[in-house]
Amino acid sequence: MSFRPARFLILGASALVLAACGGGGSDSAPTPTPSVVTPPPPPPAADSMTKMDTRAESARFLRIAGLGADDAVVTALTDADAADWLINQMAIAPQSYLDELSSRLVEDDAKNRDSSMLIYERLIGSDAQLRTRMAFALSQLFVISDRDDFNRGYDLANYYDILNRNAFGNYRELMGEITSNPMMGDYLTYLYNQKGDPRTGRQPDENYARELLQLFSIGLVELNMDGTAKTGADGNPIETYGNDDVVGLARVFTGYALAGTSYRWRDRFADAWRRPMTMYDEYHSELEKSFLGTTIAAGTPGEQSIEAALDAIFAHPNVAPFVSRQLIQRFTASHPQPDYVERVATAFETGRYTSENNRTFGTGERGDLSATLAAVLLDESVHDDVRLSSEGKVREPVLKFTQFAREYAKPATKRLVDGEWNRLADTSDPIEGLGQSPMKSPSVFNFYRPGHVAPGTQTGEAGLTAPELQIVGSASALGYVNWMSDYITRRDDHWEGTLIPDFSQEVALADDPAAMIDLIDMRLTAGGLSQDTRTAMTEVIDALPIRENNADTDRLSRARMAILMAVTSPEYMALD
C-alpha cells in the first residue's frame, strides 16, 4: 500500500470550519440511510493492499478505524496488516459500562454526567479502540438522549452496554435488545403503551413503530443494494411504508411495562430500568397487525408478535444498504460511492467478508456486524491510490477531541468518573463546548442526518451528503476553537487533575520549528498536513521568540500554538 496525501470531499478550510449549516439543508438524498472470526491462514506471499508499510499509513488507518493512537500502537501496526489488527481488536472482550460505574459509585448515586464521562474515558483511554468506536457509531443510529434526565447514570450505562456488547454481533439481535430496553421504551414512548380502546378512542402510541422503520432499519424509500433509491414508473422514489403500516406495527408494541410483580408502576423492581421490559398480554393489542406485507394473526401473544415483527422488518431488503451506508458514514466516507455501499451491503447480507490477505470475518449469518465492519474498513476505496473528490469523511467534533486527548493526555492516573464535576459531562453546547456529546442529541434524529446536504458549501453545490456539516457552522467552529484552546493552554480549572496534556516532546523541539511540525504532523494528521498549513505554522512559530530569561515558558508557548493550529487545520478536520 502506498500512502495517500490528504484529500477530503473537495472541502476547503473555509467550507469545513465556517459552513453555515445550522440544521437546515436537504435530506432528499436517501438516508439509508459476538461473531466468530475464523483462524487466520498463513499469510499470502505478496503484500496485500491493506498492509501498513509505513508509520504514516498506520497512523492514518488508526485515525479511520479507531480513535487515534500513540507511538507504541503505531509502531506495532507498521509492517502488519490492517485485517489482522481488526481480528485482534474484535477478540477483545467487552467491558461493561454498568459494572464499571457500579464499582466506583454508591448505589443510587450515578448521574447522567457519570455515564457521559465514562463513555469519554473509554473513547480516550480504552485499548479496545474498534469496539469503543463502533459502540459510539451505533449510539448515533439507535439514538436515545439523556438531555431531559438527571439521575439515570446506571440506566444509560446499561443501554450503552447493549451497543458495546453487540458491536460485532448480529444486527437482528441488536434490534431485539434495543426494543426491549426500558430506556428506549421511555424515550420513544412505548413503555406502558396500551392496546386501543374503542370506548375512549385510545389508540396505540405510534412513535417507536415509525422510528424503528424510518431510522433504525429501512428508511423512507426503497433502496437498491448500492444504497441508491429505487424509482417507480413516474420517476419518483418508491416509499417503503405508509400510515397504515405504522398503525399496524404500533399494535405490536403494546403491553410493555417495567419489570416487576405487576403491570403497575408502583410494583416495578428496584432495578427495573436495567432489566428488559416485561410483556403483559392483557394490555397487548389482540387485533390483527398488518404492515410491510406481513400480517400477524389476531390473538397472537405480545412477545411472539414482537419477534415476528422484528423478523419481518429485518428481512426487508433495505436493511443491508440502509445500515451499511450509515456505518460507512460514521467511519470512512461522508458521501460513500454506490459501489462501496454495495460491497459492504453484500457483506451484511452474506454475513461474511474475506480480506485481501485471506482473513475471514463473520458467522455467515445475515446481519453479522463483524463482517460488515470489516468490509467498511478494509474496502479498496479506503486503501487504494485513487483520489475521488467525493471520498473522505468530515470529522465530527467528538472524534476530533478524542484523538487529540488520546494522543496527548490519556486518563492514566486519574479517572474521569470520580464524583467531581468535569466539562466532559456534557460537551453539546456549540458555543462553549464541542457542539456534540455522546447520548445527548437534541432528538432521535441525532446531531445530524445521514442525508444532509449542506447549503452554501462546495459539497452542497456538488450534491454530496456531508452529515457532520449540519453541526459545523461559524458559531460551533468558534466553540471548537475555544474548547481546544482552553484545553491546550489549560485556562480552565476544570481540567486540573484530569487529562493533563503532555507537550514535552514538542517543547524539546521548539527551537527547530520544522522538526516540531513534523512531529505534530505525524501525531495528529498522519503526515497529512499540506504545505500551506505547514508554512502558516512556521511563520507563526517563528514570530514567537525564545527569550533567554523566559526560555521554558516561550518553548511551551511555541508548542501550544503549533498544536492549536494543527487541531484547527482543515487536514485535521477531515479523514482521508
In a domain, 471, yes or no: yes
In a domain, 104, yes or no: no
For the segment 414-463, what is each residue's pLDDT rounded down to a tens digit? 577 765 557 888 999 998 899 999 999 999 999 999 999 999 888 899 99
Give me the pLDDT at residue 414, please.
Answer: 57
In a domain, 231, yes or no: no
Give me the pLDDT at residue 33, please.
Answer: 34
Give me the pLDDT at residue 422, please.
Answer: 78
Name the strand (E) or helix (H) holding 361: strand 360-361
Closest CA to 444 of 176, 257, 227, 210: 210
Give me the pLDDT at residue 421, please.
Answer: 58
Cβ–Cβ under 8 Å, residues 298 and 344: no
In a domain, 444, yes or no: yes
Helices 319-331 & 338-350, crossing angle to 10 degrees?
120
Tell me which residues of the chain have a pLDDT lower than 70.
Answer: 1-46, 148-150, 411-414, 418-421, 474-475, 491-497
In a domain, 513, yes or no: yes
> Cell 523541539 sits at which residue?
509
Give me the pLDDT at residue 286, please.
Answer: 97
Q: What pTM does this model have?
A: 0.91
In a domain, 368, yes or no: no
Q: Which residues of 141-180 are buried (b: 16+ CB within 10 A; e: fewer)?
A: bbbbbbeebeebbbbbbbbbbbbbbbbbbbbbbbbbbbbb
Cβ–Cβ under 8 Å, residues 464 and 9: yes
| 564 C-beta neighbours (distance < 10 Å), count | 18
Instruction: Estimate the share of the chain in helix, then strand, then coil, as percent rounded to the nearest 5.
Output: 45, 5, 50
Give me the pLDDT at residue 26, please.
Answer: 38
DSSP 3-state assignment of 289?
strand
Q: For residue 540, what are the contacts with CB-CB under 8 A and spacing of at least 6?
A: 561, 562, 565
* Structural domains counted in the chain: 1
Give me the pLDDT at residue 7, please.
Answer: 41
Cβ–Cβ under 8 Å, residues 253 and 260: no
Residue spans of alpha helices (H) in 105-201: 112-125, 129-139, 153-165, 171-179, 182-187
Return d(Cα 91, Cα 36) in angstroms, integer.
9
In a domain, 388, yes or no: no
Cβ–Cβ under 8 Å, residues 2 and 383: no
In a domain, 465, yes or no: yes
Closest CA to 373 of 174, 134, 534, 150: 134
Q: Look up the domain containing 466 and give its range.
A: 397-575
